[in-house]
Amino acid sequence: MYRYELGIVDTRNIIKTLKEDFNYDFKNYALTFFKRRVENIIRLYNLKDTEGFLRKLKSDREFIEIFLKEICIESTEMFRDPSMWRVLREELLPKLLANTSSFKIWFPEVSSGEELFSLNILLKQLHFLDKVRIIASSISTKKIADIKKGKFLARKVEVNDANYKRIFSQGELSDYYKVDGDFGYWDADLVKDVEFKVDKISFDDYPKGVKFIIFRNHMIYFNQILQERCMKMLNNSMVPGGHLIIGNNEKIDYWNSDKDYVLVNAGESIYKKKLT
C-alpha cells in the first residue's frame, strides 16, 4: 500500500498558501490531523504530491471549496452517544425550554449536519421546534448546501437507525429520511428555520446571547492556541447560565476557562456557564 506522506516543510508551505492566497489560517490546527487530511485529499483527487496540490489550489477556483469540505470532518453518525441525547430529551431541554420564549442554540461547526438533524428531530418530538432559534456555522459552503438539501451518506443508515432505537421507544428514524442510491435525504423541513452562516477560522463574527452551544468533537482538531481562542469566543457568545456540550473525551480545563463553568454532567461533558 503506497501512501504519499507530507513532510513538515510541505505542510508549512500549504498552510502558508492557504493563508496568503485564500485568507484561511490553518496554522493552529492539530498538526497530525491537518497533515493526514491533506494527504487524504491528495490521494482522493489524484494530485500526486504537494506540488500537485498547490497547483490545483491555484489554478482551479472551485478547489478551495472542495478542500474546505474535505478538511471539515463528517459527523460520525446521528445521535452519537445515545446517552447524551437521552439526557437532553429527558432532563435538560424540557427544563430549559419550559418557561422561555426565546432560546438561541448555536452549532459553531455544523459539519455534515448529523448533530443538527438529531437535535431537531428531538425538538420536534418534544414540540419545542418553534421555541428555538438555531444558528449553524461552518467553514464549508458545500457542507451547508448539502445540509439544506438534507443530504447524507446512505452507508450511515444502519448506525443511525440503531442509535435512534437506543433513545426513542416509538417510531423509526426512517420516518425522517428517504434513501436514494448512495445518499439519504432528511426531511428538509427539519432545518427550514435554521440560520446558516459561513465562517472563516477567524472567530470574529459569532452570534450573541446564545443559551445552548453544541460543539462536540471539533476542538480536538485544533491545537491549544486555537482551542483557547475558540473557547474565548464561545464564552463571549454565551449568556451566563447557558450550556456548552463538547465531546466525551474533550476537556475545557486546559486553558483556564473551566473556572467560568460548572461541569453539570461529567459523563456527557455538559458544562454550564456560571452566573457571575
Binding site for another protein (CB under 8 A): 1, 30-33, 36-37, 73-76, 80-83, 162-163, 166, 217, 219-221, 224, 227, 247-251, 254
Of 126 and 139, the one with the shorter C-beta distance to another protein is 139
Q: 490531523: which residue's cell?
A: 33
Q: Please, what is the Cα angle at 27 between 25 and 33, to 5 degrees?
A: 110
Question: Closest separation between CB of residue 49 and another protein, Å?
Answer: 19
Neighbours of 13 (CB within 10 A): 16
Of 133 and 183, the one with the shorter C-beta distance to another protein is 183
Question: Closest separation between CB of residue 30 and another protein, Å?
Answer: 5
- Report the Cα–Cα distance between both ends of the chain, in Å, rounded: 56
- Look up residue 74 and give its DSSP letter: P
Question: Closest separation between CB of residue 8 and another protein, Å?
Answer: 9
- C-alpha cell recorded at residue 219: 476542538
Q: What is the distance between the alpha carbons of residues 24 and 203, in angstroms, rounded to a whole number? A: 12
Q: What is the distance between the alpha carbons of residues 45 and 217, in angstroms, rounded to a whole number? A: 26
Q: What is the distance between the alpha carbons of residues 30 and 149, in angstroms, rounded to a whole number? A: 31
Of 33 and 183, the one with the shorter C-beta distance to another protein is 33
**CA pseudo-torsion sign 171, 175, 176, 177:** positive
Question: Closest separation between CB of residue 130 and another protein, Å?
Answer: 31
Question: Closest separation between CB of residue 261 and another protein, Å?
Answer: 15
Q: 475558540: which residue's cell?
A: 230
Of 81 and 199, the one with the shorter C-beta distance to another protein is 81
Of 22 and 255, the one with the shorter C-beta distance to another protein is 255
Question: Closest separation between CB of residue 13 and another protein, Å?
Answer: 18
The answer to whether 163 touches 78, Cβ cutoff 8 Å, is yes
Backbone φ and ψ for 123, nearest 5 degrees, come out as -65, -40
Of 74 and 260, the one with the shorter C-beta distance to another protein is 74
